[in-house]
Chains A and B, each alone.
Chain A
Amino acid sequence: AQRVTQPEKLLSVFKGAPVELKCNYSYSGSPELFWYVQYSRQRLQLLLRHISRESIKGFTADLNKGETSFHLKKPFAQEEDSAMYYCALKGYGAQKLVFGQGTRLTINP
């Protein structure tokens, strides 16, 4: 079964501090992992995906197959990073995305 777990419902850090949002997954094959972000009163949008190995808005995420994790990191948090973050998995050949429970990130000034 496909499952995505985000253990933290809420995460609060101060501006300028490092931030890490945890994501663990369960999937028997080779998954595609994504991070989606939902800012206040906006629709869900893609932040980054593991295949591209890119940094978006200072965020990076590395797929660790050994630990089945895809944690999202940013070295210096900014106030505009406050949002809801969802980790998502797509199985090989599948159409649908499976989402984690989401983590509400609050950056304090």
Chain B
Amino acid sequence: GAVVSQHPSWVICKSGTSVKIECRSLDFQATTMFWYRQFPKQSLMLMATSNEGSKATYEQGVEKDKFLINHASLTLSTLTVTSAHPEDSSFYICSARVPGTGSYGYTFGSGTRLTVV
């Protein structure tokens, strides 16, 4: 089946540094990818929708200058957390729509646990 590979699975960084998270579609072309943030014991909150070759659409309240999304190819989307602070510590999950699967074809990455110290 369609698989999305997300790396790294966990990362620890110092406050003030930037961290990049990659999301790759392994056996399909993903024109649309989604980035979610999940706080402990809470739901997945959509941060932005990423479309290949165009600017990402950010949800209300999400700082686009802090959470940089790049979707330069049909198989790769990246999320860069810039100038990270401890409050950015969270679980980040990417998702992609699988072409030809209609409205239900969403596949999810395994997530990245970001800890900012």
Contacts and interface: CB of A to CB of B under 8 A. Distances in A.
A17 to B, nearest CB: 24
Nearest to B101: A46
A15 B97 CA distance: 35
A95 B93 contact: no
A86 B44 contact: yes
A96 B43 contact: no
SS class, residues of chain B in contact with chain A = strand
Contacts, number: 47
A43 B43 contact: no
B43 A95 contact: no
Nearest to A97: B106
Interface string A87-105: 0001000011111111010
B42 A97 contact: no
B34 A43 contact: no
A90 B111 contact: no
Nearest to A102: B43
Contacts of B106: 46, 97
B108 A45 contact: yes
Contact of B42 (A42, A52, A102): A102
Pick the 4 closest A-B CB pairs, nearest first.
Answer: A44-B108, A101-B43, A43-B110, A99-B44
12 contacts: A32-B103, A34-B104, A42-B110, A43-B109, A43-B111, A44-B95, A49-B103, A95-B32, A97-B95, A97-B106, A99-B44, A102-B43
